[in-house]
A = this chain, B = another copy of it.
Amino acid sequence: MLPYRSLILIDKKASLPVYQQIAHQLIRLVQKGHLQPGTALPSTRDMASFLSVHRKTVVAAYEELFIQDWVESQPRKGFIVSPQLPELKPRSFRKEAKVASYSSNTGFDLTPLKLHLPIPLHGDYRWVIDDGFPDGRIIPTDSILKAYREYFSHHNGKAPVMNASGALSLRSELATFLNNTRGLSIEPHHILITHGAQMAIYLTARLLLRPGANVLVGTPNYFYADRIFQQAGARLIRIPVDENGIDVDAIARYCRTKKPDLLYIIPHHHHPTTVTLSAERRMQLSSLIQQYHFPVLEDDYDYDFHYSSSPILPLASTDHGGRIIYIGSLTKLLSPTIRLGYLIAPQNFIEEATCYRRLMDIRGDHMLEEVMAMLFKRGEIQRHIKKSVKLYHQRRDHFAQRLQEDIGDAITFRKPDGGLAAWVQFHKKHSLPAIAARARTMGLSISNGKNYSSGPESLNGLRMGFASLNEMEIESALALLRNSL
């Protein structure tokens, strides 16, 4: 008999139940050939005594093996290892020792891509000041779990009809929600549900841009949008951004010389500076679009969060002849763990974008889409927006006050009207990369600001998300920041 006592190790503190630990280790012994087909297992009483566990635990482990066909029950003999093992052993086709072929780097030439994307540093910091995320801890988890349960019981009978544009139920709810909140006039077939708003930017770039295309973007601009357009082969034409948003006069001057292939704008809480495009400039821009007929990508990721002033209806709500691709995000509404965005466009664009999406992704998360549709239907999302606007309003005020008190001398910043982050620039004598490096050693993760400067000159600034931390956490994080100066 095998020395089970030493072969099977039990960790009573592990999250895996003990009976499963025993079952798994017995399976490994069979797989490795230590327990041959036909071998009888010790009686449950003996095994329990070898392993110092309750006999019922061994009974449960043996039952698990029986369900999985690893053992058979034989009269008088008890359990024996199945003569026919339930898995087909893979055949090797080369006699060689196990090789770690992936341990060295690939020799493929990856340089032509020039992505220059820093991989975010991951670590277990005490505090993380993010780029402007919602607080995932306040989402209605009970309702979400309930909706998952309903999804499973509903689809137990028949496979769901899945659509690469997204679940029809979610597109219907979203059409109503966007028509009510943004003054749009759309139907479900004007919507493509994406895996996050980023995918909507990527798809638009792939559909509209060819190498050499001219894309007007703000300076500074959302870092990843710039990289997406460049990957599609486009040239970036930089348009200044001031306290009223992107400079529409500068856009007009460009249009008089050349038709842009795309204009990318972030009308509310511009990334990174958080400024809002004024109503006057929106009117001007709306006329320009009607005059010059160029495509516009309106990235209104932060529309639902306003504290001090009303949101302004998007350009997409005006008469633009289908030239504005409008995108938004449910991730920003709920939690960074919920990756859902949407793209609004004329039907022929949505169809083509859906085709392209199938190439890179087949389709979205049908389960999550249906769950979100149920939450919309029950008003849970609308209610969550109210609740979070109230909470983030308080957090913004608290954050702004403490920031001023703690490091006001070292920075310039504007309390944002809405959104989930503030734009904070350090005075020249305080180097942000040095501060960020010091902060990390103290357990606080903040950006070093590199991603926020689109020109050669460093803005020495960063976005500081205030929504995902509560007031106590904000205080602790800012105290560490002060010590990092």
Residues of A within 8 A of B (CB): 15-16, 20, 23-24, 31, 67-69, 86-94, 96, 98-108, 110, 112-113, 115, 117, 119-120, 122-124, 128, 130, 133, 135-137, 141, 144-145, 148-149, 152, 155-157, 159-164, 180-186, 190, 195-196, 198-199, 202, 206-208, 210, 224, 227-228, 231, 279-280, 282-283, 286, 293, 295, 306, 309-313, 316-324, 336-339, 344-349, 351-352, 354-356, 358-368, 377-379, 383, 386-387, 389-390, 468
- Whether B349 lies near A128 (C-beta < 8 A) is no
Chain B residue with the shortest CB-CB distance to A369 = B337
Query: In the complex the two chains form, is B102's CB within 8 Å of A344's CB?
Result: yes
CA A94 to CA B287, docked complex, whole Å? 11
Asked whether, in the complex, the Cβ of A91 is within 8 Å of the Cβ of B310, the reply is yes
A282 nearest CB neighbor, chain B only: B93
Neighbouring B residues of A91 by C-beta, 8 Å: 279, 310-313
Kindly list chain B residues whose C-beta atoms are within 8 Å of the C-beta of A113: 206-207, 352, 356
Instruction: Kindly report which residue of chain B lies nearest to residue A261, judged by CB atoms.
Output: B108
**Contact between chains at B102 and A352 (CB < 8 Å):** no
Given contacts A20-B378, A91-B311, A361-B199, contact A367 B338 (CB under 8 A): yes
Contact of A115 with B159 in the complex, beta carbons under 8 Å: no
> In the bound complex, do residue A367 and residue B337 qualify as a contact, i.e. CB atoms below 8 Å apart?
yes
Q: With A162-B337, A362-B198 in contact, is A346–B102 under 8 Å at CB?
A: yes
**Of all chain B residues, which has the CB nearest A125?**
B161
Inter-chain pairs besides A101-B318, A110-B348, A123-B161, 19 sampled, C-beta below 8 Å: A90-B183, A90-B312, A92-B313, A93-B312, A94-B283, A98-B183, A100-B185, A101-B185, A104-B321, A106-B295, A108-B207, A122-B161, A137-B156, A162-B336, A195-B195, A198-B360, A198-B361, A228-B359, A360-B360
Q: Is the contact region of chain A dominated by helix, strand, or loop, or is it mixed?
A: loop
Contact of A112 among B100, B202, B210 (CB under 8 A): B210
Bound together, the chains give a CA A255 to CA B196 distance in angstroms of 41
Please measure, in the bound complex, the distance between the C-alpha atom of A135 and the C-alpha atom of B157, giving whole angstroms. Answer: 11
- The 8 A-B pairs at the shortest CB distance, nearest first, are namely A93-B279, A117-B355, A202-B360, A105-B348, A141-B152, A88-B310, A106-B346, A100-B185
Pair A359/B110 contact, Cβ less than 8 Å: no
- Point out the residues of chain B lying under 8 angstroms from A378, CB to CB: 16, 20
Kindly provide the distance from the CB of A303 to the nearest chain B CB, expressed in whole angstroms: 8
Q: Is the CB of A311 within 8 A of B115?
A: no
Flag if A390 contacts B195 (CB, 8 Å).
no
Q: Which listed residue (B88, B181, B368) contacts A365, Cβ 8 A? A: B368
CB-based contact B348/A365 at 8 Å: no
A67 to chain B: which residues have CB within 8 Å? 383
**How many Å from the CB of A365 to the closest CB on chain B?**
6
Q: Give the contacting residue for A102; candidates B280, B313, B322; CB below 8 A.
A: B322
> How far is A232 from B94 in the complex, measured between Cα atoms in Å?
34
**Chain B residues whose C-beta falls within 8 Å of the C-beta of A379 in the assembled complex:** 16, 20, 23-24
A107–B293 touching, CB < 8 Å: yes
- Of B20, B377, B386, the residue contacting A15 (CB under 8 A) is B377
Chain B residues near A364 (CB-CB < 8 A):
339
Residues of B near A157 (CB, < 8 A) are 137
- CB <8 Å contact, B348 and A316: no
Contacts of A389 in B (CB 8 A): 86-87
Query: Which of chain B's residues have a CB closer than 8 A to the CB of A155?
Result: 136-137, 337
Known: A162-B336, A286-B94, A379-B24. A360 touches B199 (CB 8 A): yes
Chain B residue numbers with a CB within 8 Å of A152 are 141, 144-145
How distant is A239 from chain B, measured CB to nearest CB, in Å?
20
Determine the chain B residues whose CB is within 8 A of the CB of A346 once the complex forms: 102-106
14 A-B residue pairings within 8 Å (CB atoms) = A15-B377, A68-B386, A90-B312, A93-B279, A100-B185, A106-B345, A120-B164, A135-B159, A141-B156, A145-B145, A159-B468, A198-B361, A202-B361, A339-B362
Contact A355 B115, CB 8 Å, known A137-B156, A195-B361? yes
